[in-house]
């Protein structure tokens, strides 16, 4: 524990310059009667072209909500989200169709995200068919039925379903969970998007299959050069897949920086628990934790630090003031008055 507190700054560390995606003070509140659940609470985040950022944290920390708002499947209650400089909430008409082409999502469950009554060809080809005119204009080639079929087969080959032609007329029931997730990846990439949200894409797969899908995503990212938000509660995979990492707790980002730095030298007490609870990371065990998490903490818009209820280093200031992300070492930011 450091002897003196870190001076906090309210200046955002995330700039619109060079950003393909920018979150600025984004809040998402779900209401049920008089209860307000802050799924996102003043989130700031940016993503550069070709960059990947892993969002980690336990269930209920707001990871999936962040991903859904990024691709406009949820509207934030407050704040601003910009994609390539345009305010996402104000996008309408043809610009909305362009936004949909350039932003895609890979969902967690490959069994529910693919229609069991559609063939693999229909599943992957649908985005091309819907966006036929704009893709023809972009690529300068007419999308005949044969051309669409060729493109789908090539994409299936790229995601490891080879030969792709042999999978076109199959139905999902003929495929394993890993193969279905590869179909979902193919569907997401068929339009060559600029940005993808991968929401725990390997959590429902066997370990060996998960490793294959992770390697696939890593290879495809290099080939297609898309930006990616990778959502996971598995720290090892998150570190492997992304250059940057953001740790979320009760709707807020509490630590941010290069993945290696965050996982090897966590500075927020909450991050310290997450990292040291994973045996695969540096051989650490649950006994090495600095503190414990209170999973029953109520998230209703917390005045001070979101982790004050469980932190052994808490002071009165932690209950009264909100800590802002502050650079504690080059490129490494933490929202804590008393960093580990």
- pLDDT, position 282: 46
pLDDT in tens, 207-236: 788 888 889 999 999 999 999 999 998 888
Residue 99 has pLDDT above 80, yes or no: yes
Residue 284 has pLDDT above 80, yes or no: no
Listing DSSP states for 131-143 in one string gives THHHHHHHHTS--
One domain, residues 11 and 67: yes
List the CATH number of the domain containing 214. 3.40.50.300
Given pLDDT bands bounded at 50, 70 and 90, which one contains residue 283?
Answer: very low
Phi, psi of 260 (to 5 degrees): -60, -40
Is 47 within a domain? yes
DSSP letter for 144, please: -
One domain, residues 15 and 127: no
pLDDT in tens, 155-202: 999 999 999 999 999 999 999 999 999 999 999 999 999 999 999 998
One domain, residues 186 and 332: no
Is 127 within a domain? yes
Rounded Cα distance, 73 and 321, in Å: 32
Is 89 within a domain? no
Rounded Cα distance, 300 and 294, in Å: 15
Is 186 within a domain? yes
Is 264 within a domain? yes
One domain, residues 58 and 160: no
Q: Which domain holds residue 4?
A: 1-84+194-274+322-340
Question: Which residues are 43's β-sheet partners?
Answer: 26
Domain boundary, last residue among 148, 171, 192? 192
Q: Which residues of 122-132 are buried (b: 16+ CB within 10 A; e: fewer)?
A: ebbbebbeebe
- Tell me the mean pLDDT in the region 123-135: 94
How many structural domains comprise the chain? Answer: 2
Average pLDDT, the chain: 87
Phi, psi of 248 (to 5 degrees): -110, 140
One domain, residues 22 and 122: no
- pLDDT, position 203: 81
One domain, residues 76 and 174: no
Domain boundary, last residue among 146, 165, 192? 192
One domain, residues 169 and 217: no
- pLDDT, position 298: 47
Is 313 within a domain? no
Residue 80 has pLDDT above 80, yes or no: yes
- pLDDT, position 167: 97
Residue bearing the bigger pLDDT, 228 or 287: 228
One domain, residues 185 and 210: no
One domain, residues 117 and 233: no
- Tell me the mean pLDDT in the region 247-252: 94
pLDDT in tens, 24-42: 999 999 988 887 889 999 9
Least confidently predicted of 28-37, 104-113, 327-336: 28-37
Is 91 within a domain? no
- pLDDT, position 35: 79
One domain, residues 234 and 141: no
Please give the sequence-ordered ranges of beta strands (E in DSSP) within 57-204, or none if there are none.
78-83, 86-87, 103-106, 195-199
- pLDDT, position 289: 45
One domain, residues 199 and 187: no
- pLDDT, position 279: 56
- pLDDT, position 317: 92
Is 68 within a domain? yes
- Find the Cα–Cα–Cα–Cα dihedral 272, 276, 280, 283, rounded to 10°: 120
Coil/strand/helix, residue 8: coil
Given pLDDT bands bounded at 50, 70 and 90, which one contains residue 273?
Answer: confident
Instruction: Give the number of other Cβ atoms within 10 Å of residue 142's Cβ.
Output: 8
One domain, residues 173 and 266: no
Using an 8 Å Cβ cutoff, are 131 and 97 in contact?
Answer: yes
Least confidently predicted of 66-75, 213-222, 252-261, 296-305: 296-305
């Amino acid at each position: 524990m450091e002897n003196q507190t870190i001076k906090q700054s309210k200046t955002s560390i995330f700039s619109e310059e060079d950003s393909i995606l920018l979150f600025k003070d984004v809040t998402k509140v779900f209401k049920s009667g008089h209860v307000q659940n802050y799924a996102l609470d003043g989130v700031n985040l940016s993503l550069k072209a070709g960059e990947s950022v892993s969002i980690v944290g336990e269930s209920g920390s707001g990871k999936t909500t962040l991903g859904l708002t990024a691709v406009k499947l949820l509207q934030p209650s407050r704040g601003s989200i910009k994609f390539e400089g345009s305010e996402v909430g104000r996008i309408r008409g043809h610009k909305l169709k362009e936004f949909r082409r350039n932003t895609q999502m890979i969902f967690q469950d490959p069994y529910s995200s693919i229609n069991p009554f559609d063939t693999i060809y229909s599943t992957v080809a649908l985005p091309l068919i819907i966006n036929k005119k704009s893709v023809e204009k972009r690529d300068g080639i007419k999308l005949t039925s044969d051309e669409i079929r060729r493109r789908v087969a090539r994409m299936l080959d790229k995601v490891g379903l080879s030969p792709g032609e042999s999978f076109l007329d199959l139905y999902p029931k003929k495929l394993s969970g890993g193969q279905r997730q590869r179909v979902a990846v193919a569907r997401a990439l068929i339009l060559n998007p600029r940005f993808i949200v991968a929401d725990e894409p390997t959590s429902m797969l066997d370990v060996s299959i998960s490793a294959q899908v992770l390697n696939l995503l890593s290879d495809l990212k290099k080939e297609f050069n898309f930006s990616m938000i990778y959502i996971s509660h598995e720290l090892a995979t998150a570190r492997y897949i992304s250059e940057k990492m953001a740790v979320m707790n009760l709707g807020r980002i509490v630590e941010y920086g290069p993945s290696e730095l965050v996982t090897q030298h966590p500075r927020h007490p909450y991050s310290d628990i997450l990292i040291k609870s994973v045996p695969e990371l540096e051989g650490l065990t649950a006994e090495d934790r600095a503190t414990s998490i209170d999973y029953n903490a109520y998230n209703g818009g917390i005045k001070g630090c979101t982790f004050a209820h469980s932190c052994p280093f808490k002071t009165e200031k932690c209950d009264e003031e909100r800590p802002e992300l502050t650079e504690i070492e080059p490129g490494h930011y933490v929202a804590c008055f008393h960093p580990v």
